[in-house]
Structure 1
Amino acid sequence: MKAPILLGKAVLVAALALPFVTAAADAQPGPAGSDRLRITEGGTPDQPRTYSGNGEQVGGIDVEADNVVVDGYTMDRPEAPGIEIHGSNVTVQNITVKAPQGGDGDGIRFFGDHIRILHNTISDTDNSTGAHADCMQTFATDDEDIASTNVDIENNRCERVDNMCLMAEGPDSEAGDGSGEGVSENWTFRGNYCETREASQAVMIDDVQKLTVAGNTWAAGPDHAIGLQNHSTDAHVQDNNLDPSIDCEVGIDESSRDGYQGPEPECEP
């Protein structure tokens, strides 16, 4: 399958008229004049369907399918979240998201199993409207926004992010709005660059188990790099690069200490 080509406000798919790559029917053109790309059909676990943007600009991406690879798109001031994933065995990679607008201001939101977020650059999320503008966020509140397992977040850049690089809430989060269904576990957060401008933490983990946080760079800004709370047990933290201005690398509560391995926690989450 050849890559979809975005021209003006219509998505054209070379070689075959494929209905599962569309500009969203209710999409509003963003400031850059590009519509949001909606992906609704995937391949198989062994042969996921690949959508290659080759640098093409879109107004955002919604993945509503399993067994998908989305590669090489760009977006400037898309409607937030710049990328939203609902599915299993989904990879998003080599994508640039700059200055997402509206909503809660997030760069990427994800919900599902076996999700890989690799080599993306997300920048200029903005809290000024009262948003909670994270680089990446997930939660588990209902049948659509489900708990996520087997998640790999590696080698991404979160640049000039007002809020957190990663805000992750499981199904029994302290916010009190979780679904109580399933578990969020088996995550890797590795090799990422995190520049947090306003939040207290670069990474905040609430009710996510079996998390590895390794080889990341925590740039200046937050009070502490990692917060672990509400039974976020079995976390392994190692080999991260901490800016000297950050006093505490790991903050943790008592409920999350079981199975913890890493630097001695020195503050609250």
Structure 2
Amino acid sequence: MTTHRQDLPRQRRPRLVLGGAALLVPVAVTVFQAPPATSGSVTASAARRLVITEGGTPGNPVVHDGHGRAVDGITVEADHVVVENYTVDTPRAPGIEVTGHDITVRNNTVVRPHGGDGDGLRFFGDDLRILGNTIRGTSNRHGHADCMQTFASDTPPSRRVLIEGNRCEDIDNMCLMAEGPNDGEGDGHGVTSDLTFRDNHCETLEASQALMFEDVRDATITGNTFAAAPDHAIGLARGSTGAHVSGNDVSPDIRYEVGIDESSLPGYRGPEPGGPP
């Protein structure tokens, strides 16, 4: 069984570049981008990566509804966007990556992401909603292949994020790895806080824990199903204060529900911690 951290650097998908400048803010374009060439047993999809760089306005988001359409991954770098009902089969990892404010990722399916770290979904920004998605078959042969991940190094911290009703199935590493800007690897700017992880199904196969929070304040973890047999379900470390844990269904094969370090104890509410994070 692996520990929560592996000695591999994070790998970040390059931002979309048009006209020699990275698109860090919304512009009036939506691009279907050709996938990189692949080798070995992975076959490049005939689909293209959906890259969204145009957003809407508060209360009037731009909605991209795939109606089941297959794409070779999804990248959102815009505000006020809904992306839903896409099928992402064997994409370059991360299968879905969103950066911005007021983004909803809903009812998408990501299967067997490859390359990079092998993550299914990455998110960065404020007021994000990740709802009803299925992510399946991440493999640690590509790195530390999480179902979902956020961090704050060359990316913004994440605040007010709702992750609800998702299924993480056959996941080699963690269902969620959330790291703030002061976790020892971040850039020290801002705060990662107010992440709600609710009513999700989480199947972790190789990591020591299903969820890991480092320097994440005021997390709420409730109503989830933790399957398979990691050592423990939840890790709280490096100042992840104010966490609230309740109402989770934990497999009897998991030794204890919550592991926590001393720096994360202030404000903690939940079951008695069973050991280290």
Query: TM-score, normalized by length of structure 1?
Result: 0.89
Letter in 1 for 2:221: V
Q: How does 1:1-269 map to 2 (within 5 A)?
A: 20-24=29-33, 27-28=35-36, 31-129=44-142, 131-142=143-154, 145-173=155-183, 176-269=184-277
Letter in 2 for 1:78: P
1:229 is displaced (CA, Å) by: 0.3
Q: Aligned equivalents of 2:172 and 2:153: distance in 1?
A: 24
Q: Aligned equivalents of 2:126 and 2:153: distance in 1?
A: 15
Letter in 1 for 2:156: I
Letter in 2 for 1:55: G
1:177 is displaced (CA, Å) by: 2.2
1:27 is displaced (CA, Å) by: 3.4
Q: Aligned equivalents of 1:87 and 1:59: distance in 2?
A: 21
What SS does structure 2 have at the residue aligned with 1:128?
helix
> Does the Cα contact within 8 Å between 2:35 and 2:92 map onto a contact in 1?
no
Q: Aligned equivalents of 1:221 and 1:102: distance in 2?
A: 26
Letter in 2 for 1:206: E
Q: Aligned equivalents of 2:179 and 2:167: distance in 1?
A: 21
Query: TM-score, normalized by length of structure 2?
Result: 0.87
Q: Aligned equivalents of 1:128 and 1:101: distance in 2?
A: 9
RMSD of aligned Cα (Å): 1.3
Alignment match, 2:21: none
Letter in 2 for 1:21: T
Gaps of 5+ in 2: 1-26, 38-42
Q: Aligned equivalents of 1:40 and 1:98: distance in 2?
A: 24
What SS does structure 1 have at the residue aligned with 2:212?
strand
After TM superposition, the structure 1 stretch with the greater mean CA deviation from structure 2, 31-40 or 88-97, is 31-40
1:19 is displaced (CA, Å) by: 5.3
1:45 is displaced (CA, Å) by: 1.2
Letter in 2 for 1:245: D
> Does the Cα contact within 8 Å between 2:259 and 2:276 map onto a contact in 1?
yes
Q: Aligned equivalents of 1:78 and 1:154: distance in 2?
A: 23
Letter in 2 for 1:253: D
What SS does structure 2 have at the residue aligned with 1:112?
strand
> Does the Cα contact within 8 Å between 2:35 and 2:48 map onto a contact in 1?
yes
What SS does structure 1 have at the residue aligned with 2:116?
coil
Q: Deviations over 1:180-232 (max 9, x none)?
A: 00000011000000000000000000000011000000001210000000110
Letter in 2 for 1:190: R
Q: Aligned equivalents of 2:50 and 2:28: distance in 1?
A: 12
> Does the Cα contact within 8 Å between 1:28 and 1:35 map onto a contact in 2?
no
